[in-house]
Amino acid sequence: MAIEQYNEENIRSLDWKEHIRLRPGMYIGKLGDGSSADDGIYILVKEVLDNSIDEFVMGAGKTIEISIKDGMVVVRDFGRGIPLGKVIDCVSKINTGAKYDSKAFKKSVGLNGVGTKAVNALSNYFKVESVRDGQLKRAEFENGILVKDAKIEESSKRRGTKISFKPDTSIFHNYRYVNEYLEKMFWNYAYLNPGLTILYNGEKFYSENGLKDLLQDNLDGATLHDIIHLRADDIELALTHSERSTGEQYYSFVNGQHTTQGGTHLTAFREALVKTIRDFYNKNYDSSDIRQSVIAAISLKVIEPIFESQTKTKLGSNDMGPGLVTIRTFILDFVKTNLDNFLHRNPETADIIQRKIIRAERERKELQGIKKLARDRAKKASLHNKKLRDCRKHYTDLKDDRRLETTLFITEGDSASGSITKSRDVNTQAVFSLKGKPLNCYGLTKKVVYENEEFNLLQAALDIENGIENLRYNNVVIATDADVDGMHIRLLLITFFLQFYPELVKEGHLYILQTPLFRVRNKKSTYYCYSDEEKRAAMLKLGAKPEITRFKGLGEISPDEFKHFIGEDIRLEPVMIGKDLTIENILSFYMGKNTPKRQEFIIENLRVEKNNFAESENP
């Protein structure tokens, strides 16, 4: 075997922008096309917006204006403005910024001097403008390269900073901004910063009551009691219990950053809640019974927090700041004092919570026998069944941002699951094969999850029996044919998750796999088209009667072709719940008894499908 040469010519030094563009995952996590809330294009927006939020936190500027149109993002704050002589350095020199100076930025999110530099390097176009003391400094970049360094000029504009950028299409393929993800991000910023006004494409995001507003606006149905809202320096907490759900649901934040993967602060809060409740009632209740149906939000402010990745979705540090108490001690003391006082002052709420715990205990004991049998069946089945073709690495195993790529495809039929299995990335992509249509579980109790073999094995594969804290895959993808049967299976699976694991949907883990409807090709080129519009555009490009194939099922797509559709160019459609809809309303409409309104909806949509099908058969 020949030995590769290794000498001085193999050694390269990359400048700041080259390294970011070569290894973007180190700076913004996974790239994606915008179908997932943790895709890179949203991290770019967040990195810029974080700087504007930090200005507000420091008492400078109460309004942030954001516009996103045709891929161009513009963020304008009215803070102190970047010092004019350092404008270019702040957006193009790694490890440059004021956040190394704790006097200028206390308890800030961005501490590593990387954020806007990554945005600059990963954008086709990037412009920075800063206004201070009646003067304006402007600079423009392309792919991180300075192309215009304007002289400082007099200006009557209000002070502050304006950043404009357009993500690089060679890095973010076929990207699109999903409004629901952006709006959720902006609402979280508003909840965490009462008094701040965010204007996004003319829409106003504003909160007066912080995390109390967050819970109130995100509640899905009735609660057992009013929201408990507790605040002190550096910590805020809101807490209630769902009347319907049996899982746990948390929103956690550090220095304004939504820590979607939790961390030391969330672990400490869950521990503090259990300890405080046990002490208050003087009963050694099981922790799962205490936390059943809890809905809570916690926000913590920490000096120089340490996150487990550049995207800051999980807090790793356990210190409030140099020389201060640990996060665990701080939260335990706060919850013990303030929640205990609240319960003493509000005996009716305390009584409701205790009755809830006793009911949860009774339900848990009733299910213990059947759950043990179901777990034993799942263990035995895993030894010989081929329902789950697992991957080598899981969400809970990985520490870097590749955990965001971990995916479970849920499909139906041997041919479809075979194509995906042969073309998948065995490191991070797993396949779960259904046998026929799942049970319609609308209105049923969780007992059915343990009695139904398919549901039981799916629950075990995902490891979500006790909630999504140990979820093994970041993306749960329903991969079915784009026909009537496939649509029905999608609906039944969505019903299963909404009925028993709504937090999996609410936290943005559930998707529908989009696969091409057509292949249009000639001897030189091949285009895969996801709609009639794309098909017509491909036909125009190829001209002279190209060969057109209509894929009627996933099994008709060869593994060699399929690898393109579940690789870098994967298209996922997120399953989202609208802000003004409840899960109960959604399920009763689609899965309940027939209603004239639903019949009208089905008839109207069937007419559209038929028209599209007829058109596609007659190109």
According to DSSP, residue 456 is labeled H
Residue 568: predicted pLDDT: 79
Pairwise CA distance, residues 582 & 286, whole Å: 30
CATH number at residue 451: 3.40.50.670
What confidence tens digit (pLDDT) does each residue in 531-542 have? 899 999 999 999
Of 401, 218, 209, nearest to 309 (Cα)?
A: 401
Residue 183: predicted pLDDT: 94
Query: Are 220 and 244 within 8 A, CB to CB?
Result: yes
| Helix/strand/coil (H/E/C) assignment for every residue in 61-119 | CCEEEEEEECCEEEEEECCCCCCHHHHHHHHHCCCCCHHHCCCCCCCCCCCCCCHHHHH
What confidence tens digit (pLDDT) does each residue in 90-116 have? 898 875 554 434 444 455 554 444 689
For residues 175 and 276, membership in a common domain is answered with: no
Pairwise CA distance, residues 451 & 371, whole Å: 9
To the nearest whole number, what is the mean pLDDT of the chain? 84
For residues 113 and 185, membership in a common domain is answered with: yes
For residues 220 and 197, membership in a common domain is answered with: no
Pairwise CA distance, residues 56 & 466, whole Å: 39
* Residues comprising the chain, all counted: 619
For residues 25 and 129, membership in a common domain is answered with: yes
What are the residues whose beta carbons fall under 8 Å from the beta carbon of 299, sequence distance 6 or more?
Answer: 192, 210, 211, 235, 236, 237, 252, 253, 254, 256
Domain span holding position 176:
16-205
Per the structure block, which two tokens stand in for 90? 């702040």
Name which residue leads in pLDDT, 314 or 187: 187
For residues 453 and 467, membership in a common domain is answered with: yes
Residue 248 confidence class, pLDDT cut points 50, 70, 90: confident
Q: In 10 A of CB 506, how many CB atoms?
A: 18
CATH number at residue 115: 3.30.565.10
CA 104 to chain centre: 31
Residue 411 forms beta bridges with which residues?
433, 479
Residue 611: predicted pLDDT: 41
% the chain with pLDDT above 70: 84
Per the structure block, which two tokens stand in for 6? 């290794």
Pairwise CA distance, residues 23 & 28, whole Å: 9
For residues 37 and 81, membership in a common domain is answered with: yes
According to DSSP, residue 159 is labeled S
pLDDT above 90 for 447: no
Per the structure block, which two tokens stand in for 86? 């350092």
Is 539 contained in some domain? no
For residues 217 and 196, membership in a common domain is answered with: no
Phi, psi of 296 (to 5 degrees): -145, 155
Residue 580 confidence class, pLDDT cut points 50, 70, 90: low
Is 9 contained in some domain? no
For residues 201 and 222, membership in a common domain is answered with: no
Residue 508 confidence class, pLDDT cut points 50, 70, 90: confident
pLDDT above 80 for 3: no
Pairwise CA distance, residues 588 & 443, whole Å: 9
What confidence tens digit (pLDDT) does each residue in 43-92 have? 999 999 999 998 998 889 999 999 999 999 999 999 999 999 999 988 98
pLDDT above 90 for 17: no
Residue 340: predicted pLDDT: 96
pLDDT above 90 for 151: yes
Q: In 10 A of CB 560, how many CB atoms?
A: 10
For residues 271 and 398, membership in a common domain is answered with: no
DSSP helix, strand, coil percent of the chain (3-state; round to 5): 40, 20, 35
State which H helix or E strand residue 417 sits in: helix 414-423
What confidence tens digit (pLDDT) does each residue in 206-247 have? 999 999 999 999 888 889 999 999 999 899 999 999 987 777
| Cα-Cα end-to-end distance for the chain | 55
Interval 326-350 mean pLDDT: 95
Residue 365 confidence class, pLDDT cut points 50, 70, 90: confident
Residue 169 confidence class, pLDDT cut points 50, 70, 90: very high
Query: Are 320 and 260 within 8 A, CB to CB?
Result: no
Pairwise CA distance, residues 496 & 441, whole Å: 6
Mean pLDDT is lowest, of 22-31, 135-144, 580-589, for 580-589
Half-sphere exposure of 68 (CA within 13 A, CB side): 19
Query: Are 321 and 305 within 8 A, CB to CB?
Result: no
Residue 271 confidence class, pLDDT cut points 50, 70, 90: very high
According to DSSP, residue 10 is labeled G
What confidence tens digit (pLDDT) does each residue in 389-439 have? 999 988 877 776 678 889 999 998 777 888 899 999 999 999 999 888 888
Pairwise CA distance, residues 35 & 41, whole Å: 10
CATH number at residue 218: 3.30.230.10
Residue 618: predicted pLDDT: 39
Residue 403: predicted pLDDT: 81
Interval 369-382 mean pLDDT: 69
Indicate the number of domains in the chain. Answer: 3
For residues 152 and 114, membership in a common domain is answered with: yes
Interval 186-210 mean pLDDT: 95
Is 612 contained in some domain? no
Is 2 contained in some domain? no
pLDDT above 80 for 586: no
Residue 67: predicted pLDDT: 96
Residue 613: predicted pLDDT: 39
Radius of gyration of the chain (CA): 26
pLDDT above 60 for 615: no
Is 225 contained in some domain? yes
Residue 444 confidence class, pLDDT cut points 50, 70, 90: confident
According to DSSP, residue 152 is labeled P
Residue 8 confidence class, pLDDT cut points 50, 70, 90: low
Residue 588: predicted pLDDT: 66
Give the largest Cα separation in the chain, rounded. 82
For residues 329 and 401, membership in a common domain is answered with: no
Residue 481: predicted pLDDT: 86
Is 570 contained in some domain? yes
Is 369 contained in some domain? no
For residues 67 and 188, membership in a common domain is answered with: yes
Residue 378: predicted pLDDT: 66
Name which residue leads in pLDDT, 116 or 18: 116
Residue 583: predicted pLDDT: 67
Is 215 contained in some domain? yes
Given 171, 205, 239, the domain boundary residue is 205
Given 163, 180, 205, the domain boundary residue is 205
pLDDT above 60 for 605: no
Cα angle value 51/19/405 (rounded, 5°): 80
User: Scanning the structure block, which residue is given the tokens 């390097």?
Assistant: 121
Q: In 10 A of CB 524, how many CB atoms?
A: 6
